[in-house]
A and B are shown apart, each in its own frame.
Chain A
């Protein structure tokens, strides 16, 4: 809260991390109740933020409420540090809180994420803040808030199992690939936000604290560290995650979530790590995929605004090809389009 006078007029400043203290207290109380009742959506008085709904206003408010001056913040958008949403939110907190930011998963104390869980295992003093578009897992099955609230109160989740069963009846397998519902600590069924179901197993027994913020829907929920998180399934149709046929084309990583990148208009494509920090760290350690570039020829300015260059472009391919992996960075209302399908 520095008010430096410029030409007689006080410079316009913000409270630390933008939100006023009363708002932070309100959000903090909601966070404490969310932690005490894992998976339950605590209503909170979400504020208008200087960004549109769908761009992470819920996550931003949660981050602002927990953030301290010593924190190191990382923001990712579908795994990437360099996409619009991540760059904008990182800049927002650099400006309003003056905190240190990083792209390194291991250095960060708070990681705000849109739709991915980092590939690097999280530690016990880290906080993962999810941006959530629709927090209610039953919303598309039952539009009335009064009803879904009662279904949660009664732990009546038959509707969700019917939905998964209908998937099996229609497609032969559970076709839900993102925002795959989970049961938290044996009680509440929760929407893990639109992360690919690939990331669901990372929520279980995670040593980090996981906080979820939905700004438009005004809900906060949480998973404390080391909490049992079970993806809903059936005995004869157990939960399975996506598998990829080939390793990352840049760093040769296997067992990670890959993005498809269109390279040209002749069907050229590559699959690369969605988690840019993980991919870069591996490339720096000398791992090379089939389209990876030798370390000495990697250019550092292919992605303006980020240094060192994330996902160095392979020689002979246009930069636009790499840009093709950049996602729109926001969530539409009410149904999102363009989410990744089952990449198995």
Chain B
């Protein structure tokens, strides 16, 4: 096992996980609002500290994780996640409860991930998407958790991101939920949110 895999987790597993979860909880409760997330982790690249914190706070042996190509190409990332969470790393995105995406521009269609079933819409994937910056504009959000409307933006995101989110919204109550992590924060785009360009 490489030294990077043993890169430290939360300095306090109880408080670190709680603070990270609370940030994620408020992020999904108030779509588009960026919550501060400072986990102090140093995970192996290209995994960033914010995404690593979310994985460590939410994943364990019950939650298979799927890694996108960029993350899967670095064995240290899988080792780090296995060591700290005990989660299995799966190759089939449909089997994953959590998906970690380091290159949003190349992210697969949401349809490849578990969407839940009409009886159990909660049996769907949560996508942790790494972004570089939150721009605060470019997209308009509406839905539960948002008073009137909110503007939101993050880079990089694929050009057809709003269209993908619209397709995802049309499946409600099925669909995937997104946690966008980066630059010291996390923002949530649950399946209930309606996204426009603007």
Residues of chain A at the chain B interface (Cβ within 8 Å): 1, 15-16, 21-22, 24-26, 28-38, 40, 42-43, 65-69, 149-150, 152-154, 184-185, 187-188, 205, 207, 209, 223-228
**Do B25 and A31 touch across chains, with their CB atoms under 8 A apart?**
yes
- Restricting to B109-153, which residues have a CB under 8 Å from any CB of A? 117-122, 124, 126, 143-147
**Do B118 and A154 touch across chains, with their CB atoms under 8 A apart?**
yes
Q: Contact partner of B63 among A29, A37, A65, CB < 8 A?
A: A29
**Do B119 and A32 touch across chains, with their CB atoms under 8 A apart?**
no
How close is A127's CB to chain B, nearest CB, in angstroms? 9
In the bound assembly, the distance between CA atoms of A226 and B30 in angstroms comes to 9
**Do B60 and A36 touch across chains, with their CB atoms under 8 A apart?**
no
**Do B57 and A25 touch across chains, with their CB atoms under 8 A apart?**
yes
Q: Is the interface of B mostly helix, strand, loop or mixed?
A: loop
Task: Please name all residues of chain B whose beta carbon is closer than 8 Å to the beta carbon of A225 when the two chains form the complex.
Answer: 29-30, 145, 147
- B14 at the A interface (CB under 8 A): yes
Q: Is the interface of A mostly helix, strand, loop or mixed?
A: mixed
Which of B17, B59, B117, B173 neighbours the largest number of chain A CB atoms within 10 Å of its CB? B173
Nearest B-chain residue to A25, judged by Cβ = B60
**Do A36 and B177 touch across chains, with their CB atoms under 8 A apart?**
yes
Given A15-B14, A224-B144, the answer on whether A28 and B173 have CB atoms closer than 8 Å is no
Nearest B-chain residue to A211, judged by Cβ = B25
Nearest A-chain residue to B63, judged by Cβ = A29
Given A33-B122, A153-B118, A187-B173, the answer on whether A25 and B15 have CB atoms closer than 8 Å is no
- B24 at the A interface (CB under 8 A): yes
Task: Please name all residues of chain A whose beta carbon is closer than 8 Å to the beta carbon of B21 when the two chains form the complex.
Answer: 24, 28, 65-66
In the bound assembly, the distance between CA atoms of A226 and B119 in angstroms comes to 26
In the bound assembly, the distance between CA atoms of A13 and B147 in angstroms comes to 43
- B70 at the A interface (CB under 8 A): no
**Do A35 and B29 touch across chains, with their CB atoms under 8 A apart?**
yes
Task: Please name all residues of chain B whose beta carbon is closer than 8 Å to the beta carbon of A33 when the two chains form the complex.
Answer: 122, 124, 177
- List 19 interface pairs A-B (beta carbons < 8 Å), by A numbering: A1-B14, A21-B13, A28-B21, A28-B58, A31-B25, A34-B122, A40-B122, A65-B21, A68-B22, A149-B119, A185-B192, A187-B173, A209-B25, A224-B144, A225-B29, A225-B30, A225-B145, A226-B144, A226-B146
Per-residue CB proximity of B92-109 to A under 8 Å, as 1/0?
000001000000000000
- B83 at the A interface (CB under 8 A): no
- B44 at the A interface (CB under 8 A): no
The 4 closest A-B pairs by CB, nearest first: A36-B190, A153-B118, A224-B145, A33-B122
Task: Please name all residues of chain B whose beta carbon is closer than 8 Å to the beta carbon of A1 when the two chains form the complex.
Answer: 14
**Do A187 and B172 touch across chains, with their CB atoms under 8 A apart?**
yes
Q: Contact partner of A36 among B14, B146, B191, CB < 8 A?
A: B191
**Do A25 and B28 touch across chains, with their CB atoms under 8 A apart?**
no
**Do B147 and A226 touch across chains, with their CB atoms under 8 A apart?**
yes
**Do A36 and B28 touch across chains, with their CB atoms under 8 A apart?**
yes
